[in-house]
């Protein structure tokens, strides 16, 4: 029962009608992509699923229990979030930043031990950051920071990954590496929910899709059922042509 479920969920996007309530069940091993135009509420939905925002209506259930009834610390052991925005006002090294992923597991008086540090280093190595561990995060490039955020959640080792734009700022190689990392997590029994801008990444890497329309309407299901050009054209209000590459559809906007 490690599923993440939305029961009649209406996310609270200020100034927008409630639209269609979400009733869906996301199971471990699934990779959910949330698609939608700017302002459709993708990030708000992700934060609501993580319990960081109060929904306008409905509930999010984790392992069959409403998120609001969980202790925050217990949630943090099961559910990790990669944010789009980061706060780097204060100096912090890459290793320190990855290490905060251990916070939910440590008691107030406890310091990060050898195993915690080993986990953080392992996560950094996974994201090809091991040579940067002493650098200040604020001195890194956007793509490197994005990988530090992923490494932090990898250190946190949750069973649910909620990722806002996983490929933000990443070059092609690291885009693929990151999606492969998320796929690997799913294979190991984690659930993954990611907000995506790139239709083709979604087509390539997601098992399920949730389409969010600007007016609050939504539809969801298995990726192959959702990747209908007409639905996608309506979603983005943009004409598309479809080509087949490697047996997967690739969507290209029409000029």
Question: Which is closer to other proteins, CB of 109 or CB of 246?
Answer: 109
Summarize as ranges the residues that interact with other proteins (CB under 8 A). 47, 50-52, 72-77, 79-81, 83, 85-87, 89-93, 95-97, 99-101, 103-104, 106, 108-109, 111-112, 117, 133-134, 156
Cα distances from 77 to residues 62, 102, 110, 118, 143, in angstroms, run: 12, 9, 17, 18, 26
At its nearest, how many Å lie between other proteins and the CB of residue 228?
34
Question: Which is closer to other proteins, CB of 50 or CB of 190?
Answer: 50
Question: Which is closer to other proteins, CB of 86 or CB of 197?
Answer: 86
At its nearest, how many Å lie between other proteins and the CB of residue 218?
23
Locate 89 and state its tokens: 């006002």
DSSP characters for 198-228?
-HHHHHHH-SEEEEE-TTS-EEEEEHHHH--
Tell me the β-bridge partners of 4.
26, 62
What letter would DSSP give residue 17? -
Report the C-alpha gap between 29 and 161 in whole angstroms.
11
Question: Which is closer to other proteins, CB of 111 or CB of 173?
Answer: 111
At its nearest, how many Å lie between other proteins and the CB of residue 55?
15
At its nearest, how many Å lie between other proteins and the CB of residue 50?
6
């Amino acid at each position: 029962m490690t599923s993440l479920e939305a029961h009649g969920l209406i996310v609270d996007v200020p100034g927008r009608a409630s639209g269609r309530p979400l009733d869906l069940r996301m199971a471990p091993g699934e990779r959910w992509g949330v698609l939608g135009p700017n302002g459709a509420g993708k990030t708000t939905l992700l934060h609501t699923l993580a319990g960081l925002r109060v929904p306008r209506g409905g509930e999010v259930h984790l392992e069959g229990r409403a998120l609001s009834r969980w202790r925050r610390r217990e949630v943090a052991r099961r559910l990790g979030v990669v944010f789009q925005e980061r706060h780097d006002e204060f100096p912090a090294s890459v290793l320190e930043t990855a290490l905060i992923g251990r916070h939910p597991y440590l008691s107030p008086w406890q310091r990060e031990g050898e195993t915690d540090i080993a986990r953080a280093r392992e996560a950094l190595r996974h994201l090809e950051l091991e040579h940067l561990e002493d650098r200040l995060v604020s001195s890194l490039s956007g793509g490197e920071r994005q990988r530090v955020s992923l490494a932090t959640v990898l250190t946190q080792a949750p069973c649910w990954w909620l990722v806002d734009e996983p490929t933000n700022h990443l070059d092609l190689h690291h885009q693929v590496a990151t999606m492969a990392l998320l796929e690997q997590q799913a294979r190991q029994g984690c659930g993954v929910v990611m907000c995506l801008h790139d239709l083709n990444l979604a087509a390539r890497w997601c098992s399920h899709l949730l389409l969010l329309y600007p007016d609050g309407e939504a539809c969801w299901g298995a990726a192959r059922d959702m990747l209908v050009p007409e639905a996608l054209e309506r979603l983005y209000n943009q004409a598309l042509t479809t080509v087949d590459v490697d047996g997967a559809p690739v969507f290209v906007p029409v000029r």
